[in-house]
Structure 1
């Protein structure tokens, strides 16, 4: 009789986030859980860690210490993997502070081990915005003093060549910063880039500006000169210029923040309409309420909406999908709704259309909500629960035969029609006390082809009747035992806690993490028998 070579046999894929065989622990709510290897633990923590901020079950200090310890450990044990993680984390992962902190701890560990290799490249890779060299110096000197090792100096110098230009000087070189552009130049000593003949004059001007002796702006620094001319316009004439010569704002690289200060009056419709063409998509999303309250015209609003509906613009913005939900939730006017729905769809383009029957469980317990839990990246007011709802709703909307469930200690199914609005579906999610994943799985699993759980994993034990050894009672039952071994279970970790709710890495049990849709693409790969890699390992 054939046991393995049957029509139902299919290859089993592997995933990189792996638990350690035989290593068990308890979740924060008391269920039997699983410990992961160091790389897996660091990855899940890195993609969810907002440095210096408390989590529901973990203080900021404990969380940051765990992160730094893991980075330092792996910087020595596996420097290539760790450097790859840090570069990806700041790039596609879009986690700024965790990447900056991680790179600093990486360098310190490598230097302490007497093997500084990879350090310069790690520093350079995480500096992607012109204010970040100063941030990097601020973190390093506050922890390790003013002496800068050569890899730190050289990595910062490499980044400065890439990042410093006239616009970045105007935006980020402000008196509020502890390390101004001139300070960074003095400490890192970067040479001007050979392909930027104006950069030497920019560096010298930044130094002069820092020391208060900047005089005539060099002729080649045209944007700086345009800003200087704009600042000389009398205050009483500035508002009129918005309609008569608004092109001067773009020439002077004015942002909406700097425009408000330049006008020395509240931003009205004319001010917003003058600056909107130069605003990025993130700035537009955050200011929809301001546009409505100021009375921005429908014509201008249509141009803003067209940008949200542009797939290329959404991709270039690198905005997390839940940011479009945030814009929708806070905008008072309905005129943005359709465009934000399209923007969300573009940002979730990687969510696959899963075949067959899919059980999708979304955690709505108190640890996923504000007032109980840490803020999300960028100190957003969009809690983990709403991020989970966005991803769960999008996955369900595209699945062939989905069962979408919200759960806490109790659970309920959310019915919807295919093709309806993801944003409207997210509005229907509620809040449910407690966290009990096993009970939700037991209640709703019914021959599904896969189970996806979007959660912080800190479940209570699942207690079910037991008649073992001839007497009644209740026994703990794990999630792993409730789903047949040939059915994949995907645990989507939203908070990066140490203990997981299921085993992972193979045998149809997998854990993922991160706040983008890219990891969802791994589900079809694994189900085809492919081996998923770390996202920076192509």
Structure 2
């Protein structure tokens, strides 16, 4: 008699062969180059993660970039920037595009390089040699010059903050030909060359005057240019009033230390800006960044400002879909999820962990779908009681406090199967590195797909969405008409889920979403 441990009868239709292994050497499914690049572009920050180092990410991205069409590469670069809110990844993809034929590079460059930070990111990637060349080349140089020519004086001053490279380095590299005496003076000022002081733009004159006489009004320059000066409380109030929305969010504790909230009515004015819907949307803030701001504000920050951060969170999550039917949300709370969401980077590692992002997504879905069921998992499902009426912040904190254990992505599905539960949508938020449930037999598929097949037998119309928040290229559920794998941790992931649920079944819905982007 044949050995049944090897030749056991598999009930239901034959599952797809799990021919890949993940970083735990457990069965997994590999993605197509388009799918894998979409995953990496939405989650890769080129910092070390729990399972992979920065160099591995870079090598994988470069390999995949040359396996897709230039037009798709251009679209994925724009998608990573505009929908994924990424910075280094779009700059790298632009650098690769600059060596390919076609006009995708120019069209993508103008969509991505919107500010001085992105300009400097792009130049740094180009001159690093990471893509095989260390000079800009004709096309990139022309577009860098175009950006410099079209940028306002204020944009140039904002771009002057930062190094490696500095804007002065960029100017020296491309040798712009100024079209006005004012711009010629500004370039000379930036690179430390002789220039006509009288021709300098007004913003520079105001900055230099303020350095000589701090009794003058605070100039509208990046506050990083001012912090080395002897600033008073009145100065800090002016800085806060002139600040961008993101700068406000990032420096609440700084403002508190400099007593700006002691000014009558100022806390209320600042809170009004923080909760302004237009400013929140325009800022392109990650929802998890608001959670960080809320969790790290000092006691000196007034309650009205803390409340405004919660209001901003609700606005930032406004596109979380309200889903008809029975929803189950499965956040991964295993040990690997304790790693930083954007990876380890010496001196600037994010305090936000993958588990924080997973908890936030789960809490947001629960808030918009009060009847949803939340099944956190590690080695097995972790029972937790949540109140859908609580704020997103409160429920996210409860989920993020669990943590630990191995990764078993099939556990929530197995729980639902054992209950013969009725479900319409199951959403996973994980790093996809399941290993506790490894079958050891690739031809039998992953345990996740085995349990999903059983659940589908009970719920033929059910759909599965797996949100991956780490830059790896394998998945536990093979993309199919009823299975969507999507990567990222911006709120735009919810848009993809919403369109997937409202559209006809498409086994490659996420790639189609990117392909539909118009450059």
Scaled by the length of structure 1, the TM-score of the pair is 0.80
Give the C-alpha shift of residue 55 in structure 1: 1.3
Whether 1:168 and 2:140 are equivalent positions in the alignment is: no
Partner of 1:339: 308
Distance 1:366 1:173, change over 3 A: same
Instruction: List aligned pairs for 1:434-453, cutoff 5 A.
Output: 434-444=406-416, 446-453=421-428
1:145 deviation in Å? Answer: 5.4
Residues 510-530 of structure 1, C-alpha deviations (whole Å, 9 max, x = no match): 111222222323334333343
Superposition RMSD in Å: 2.8
Q: CA deviation at 1:351?
A: 0.3
> Residues 377 and 408 of structure 2 are in contact (CA less than 8 Å); yes or no, is this contact kept in structure 1?
yes
Structure 1: where are the runs of 5+ without partners?
1-19, 465-474
Tell me by how many angstroms 1:79 deviates. Answer: 1.0
2:496 corresponding residue in structure 1:
522
| Contact kept? 1:56, 1:373, Cα under 8 Å | no
Query: What does residue 9 of structure 2 align with?
Result: none
Cα shift at 1:58: 1.0
Superposition deviation, residue 208 in structure 1: 5.4
> What are the equivalent positions in structure 2 for 1:267-286 lying under 5 Å apart?
269-286=233-250
- 1:256–1:275: 8 Å Cα contact kept in structure 2? yes
Residues 85-124 of structure 1 aligned to structure 2 (within 5 Å):
85-108=76-99, 110=100, 115=101, 117-124=103-110
The correspondence for 2:222, drawn from 242, 252, 255, is 255
Q: Alignment partner for residue 19 of structure 2, among 19, 24, 27?
A: 24
Matches for 1:414-429 after TM superposition, within 5 Å: 414-429=384-399
CA deviation after TM superposition for structure 1 residue 41, in Å: 0.1
Q: Distance in 2 between matches of 1:529 and 1:86?
A: 24
Structure 2 counterpart SS, 1:223: helix
Match of 1:151 among 134, 139, 160: 139
Please give the alpha-carbon distance, in whole angstroms, between the structure 1 residues aligned to 2:429 and 2:105: 35
Tell me by how many angstroms 1:299 deviates.
Answer: 2.2
1:138 to 124, 140, 149: 124
SS for the counterpart of 1:458 is coil
Pair 1:307–1:178, CA change in 2 (3 A) = closer
User: Judging changes above 3 Å, is the alpha-carbon distance between structure 1 residues 461 and 507 closer, same or farther for their aligned structure 2 residues?
Assistant: farther
| 8 Å contact from structure 2 (residues 431, 468) kept in 1 | yes
5+ residue gaps in structure 2? 1-14, 440-446
Out of 270, 273, 279, the position equivalent to 1:313 is: 279
SS at match of 1:481: helix
State the match for 1:494 in structure 2: 469
* Cross-structure match for 1:16: none
Is 1:370 equivalent to 2:339 in the alignment? Answer: yes
1:30 and 1:499 map into 2 onto residues whose CA distance is 11
Counterpart CA distance in 2 for 1:27 and 1:145 is: 32
Aligned counterparts of 2:252 and 2:78: Cα–Cα separation in 1: 32
What is the alpha-carbon distance in structure 2 between the residues aligned to residue 525 and residue 400 of structure 1?
Answer: 21
CA distance in 2, matches of 1:368, 1:232: 51
Specify the alignment match of 2:357 in structure 1.
387
What is the deviation of 1:389?
1.1
Does the 8 A contact of 1:361 with 1:452 survive in 2?
yes
How many angstroms apart in 2 are the aligned matches of 1:478 and 1:29? 19
> Is 1:324 aligned to 2:295, yes or no?
no
Name which of structure 1's ranges 328-337 and 96-105 shifts more when overlaid on structure 2.
328-337
**Count, aligned residues:** 474
Distance 1:140 1:120 in 2: 15
State yes or no: 1:212 paired with 2:186: no
d(CA) in 2 for partners of 1:427, 1:232: 48
Partner secondary structure for residue 375 of structure 2: strand
What whole-Å deviation, never above 9, does each CA across 1:415-458 have from its counterpart, x for those lacking one? 33333211111111221311111123212452221110011111
Q: Describe the superposition over 1:59-118 as per-residue Cα deviations: whole angstroms up to 9, x where unpaired.
A: 2111111012212332xxx1111111112322332211111111112223x2xxxx3543
In 1, distance between residues paired with 2:16 and 2:450?
16
SS of aligned partner of 1:416: coil
Query: Structure 1's 203 and 44: CA in aligned 2 closer, same or farther, altered over 3 A?
Result: farther
Q: 1:246-303 deviations in whole A, cap 9, x for unaligned? A: xx21xx223332232122x6xx644432211111222211222233344422621111
Secondary structure of the structure 2 residue equivalent to 1:448: coil
How much has 1:327 moved relative to structure 2?
A: 0.7
Contact 2:340 / 2:350 at 8 angstroms: preserved in 1?
no
The 1:168–1:402 alpha-carbon spacing in structure 2 relative to 1, beyond 3 Å, is same
Q: Quick check: 1:488–1:509 contact (8 Å CA) kept in 2?
A: yes
Contact kept in structure 1, 2:332 and 2:407, CA below 8 Å:
yes
For 2:344 and 2:452, how far apart are their aligned partners in 1? 31
TM-score in terms of structure 2 length: 0.83
Match for residue 63 of structure 1 among 54, 57, 67: 57
